[in-house]
Amino acid sequence: MTKSAAKSEPSMPRRPNIIWVFGDQHRGCATGYAGDPNLHTPHLDRMATEGTVFRNAVAGTPLCCPFRGSLLTSRYPHHCIPGHQDPMPDGMPTVADAFNHAGYDTAWFGKWHVDGFKEQTGRPAFHTVPRERRGGFNYWMGYENNLSGFDCWLHGHDQSGNEVERFRLDGYETDGITNLLIDYLEGKSTEGQAVRGKEGIDLADPDPFFAALSVMPPHNPFIAPAEWMERHTPGSIQLRPNVPPDEGIREQAARELAGYYAMIENLDHNLGRLREALDRLGLYENTIILFFSDHGDMMGSHGQMRKTSVYQESLNIPFVVGGGIPFYGSDGLVKPQVLNHPINHVDIAATSLGLCGIEPPAEMAGFNYAPHIGWTDQEAPPPPESAYLQYCKPSRYGRCIDRPWRGIVTADGWKYACFEYQPWVLFDLNADPYEFNNRAFYRMSHARQHQLQAQLQEWIEKTGDEFQLPEMGHSAG
C-alpha cells in the first residue's frame, strides 16, 4: 500500500527523535501482524502496516543480559556480556554516549539488567545501579531486574542530574513506566520547552531526543491487569503445531499463554498511548519508533520452555520501525515494506543512529540498516547475508538448552547451529517454518551444511570469537 508523497524530492528530516519500545520474552510470532490467532495488537499492527517490518529479526543471543549488553553497545556478547548476570564492562561506550555526542537528550525508563547483580543474593529490584553504570543516559529511571509487575520499584537520576531515591510505581509496571515516558515527552513539546525557559523553539527542528521504554512484561510470571486477563482463557488458546502431544507440556503452555497474551495486549495498548501522546504534543511527525524484544519464549514448542534455544520461538523477535516520519522509495512514494534481512541485536544501536543521520562509532560491530529503511539520499550498502548467533555460557535454566552453541540464520531462510565439535540443527525455514525436519545429519544436505558452516567460521573469525566447530565429512554434492 502506497500513497503519494507530499514532496517530490524526499530528504531526511534534520534531527528526528527516536524511541525504543521493547518488552522481555516477546516472541516474533505473538503479534497480530504475524498472524497469531490468539491476540489483538491493533497499535503494533498499524505501525507495521505504515512502516517497516523485519520479519526475520533475531535475538543473536536469546537471553536477557547478553542481548541487552549487545543492544546498548553494538558489540557481540563475547566482547561485552557473555552470560546471564554478568556485568557490562566498566566504561564501555554505549548508544547513549553516541547520541549525547550528537547533541541529543537521552533518557532510559525501566528494566536495565546489565549491572551484574546476582539474583541468588537478594531481590534485584532493590539493587541500586551506580550512577556511573547507567550507560551515560542524561535521564535514567530504572531497575536492574524485577519479576513482579504489580510491585515495581525504580530509582535513578532526573534531567537535572539529581539522584532519585527508590520509589514504588502505582499500579501495573507497563502502565506506570509508560506514564513516566509520557511525562518526559510533555517536557519535550514546544510548550514544555518554553515552560522550561527555552526560547526561539524551531517547530521544524525541535530539541531532539533518544528515549528507551524497557519493560519486563511479557516475561513470566504471566499476570496482567484484570481487564486484560479476562480476555484470555487456557481453554481457548491455539497452540503452535510444534508443541508435542504431552499433556503436561500442553496444559502448562496454554495456562501460561493466556497470561502472556494479556501482557502483550497491555503492552500494545501502551504503545497506542505513546503514539497518542506524541501526536497531542506535536512530536509524532518528527519521531521514529522502534518496537522489538530481547528474545522470545518457547512456550512448549519442541517440548521446551523459555529461552536460550536456537528454535524460532526463542530466537525470532518482533521488529517494526514506524512513527510519523515517512520513508520514501526511489519512486518518491511513501514506502511501507517487509524486509527479510535478519537484523540482529548488535545492529539495533547502529541502525538507530543511522536513522537520525549519525554515523555509528567505529567500535560498533553492528550493521546500519537505516538506508534500507529510509531515505533515498543515503547509500545502501549490501546487508550481511546472515546473522551470527551465540549462546556463550550456560545459564542453568531448567527446561532450556543449557550448553554453549553457535549458529547463523540466513536472509534466504536457512538456519544452522552446532555445539563444539558436534553438529546440532539444520533447517530450511521456507519449507519447514515450524522446524520439524532437522537436516543436520542427512547426507543429501551435506553440501548446504558445508556452505553454512563456512559462513559460520567466517563470523567466528570476523568477531574474534573462540569456538571449535565440528569436522565436516565429504560433501555428497
> Residues with catalytic annotation?
64, 113
Identify the residue whose cell numbers are 553516541. 98
**Rounded CA separation 238/255 (Å):** 11
Burial of 115 (C-beta count, 10 Å sphere; 0-12/13-18/19+): buried
Cis ω before 221 (30° cut-off from 0)? yes
Alpha helices in 103-206 (DSSP H): 173-188, 190-195
In the DSSP assignment, the letter for residue 316 is B
Bridge partners of 110, per DSSP, are: 142, 214
User: Strands 163-168 and 209-214, how do they pair?
Assistant: unpaired
Long-range contacts of 235-242 (CB under 8 A, 24+ apart): 236/38, 237/38, 237/261, 238/37, 238/38, 239/300, 240/29, 240/299, 240/300, 240/301, 240/313, 240/434, 241/434, 242/301, 242/302, 242/313, 242/434, 242/435, 242/436
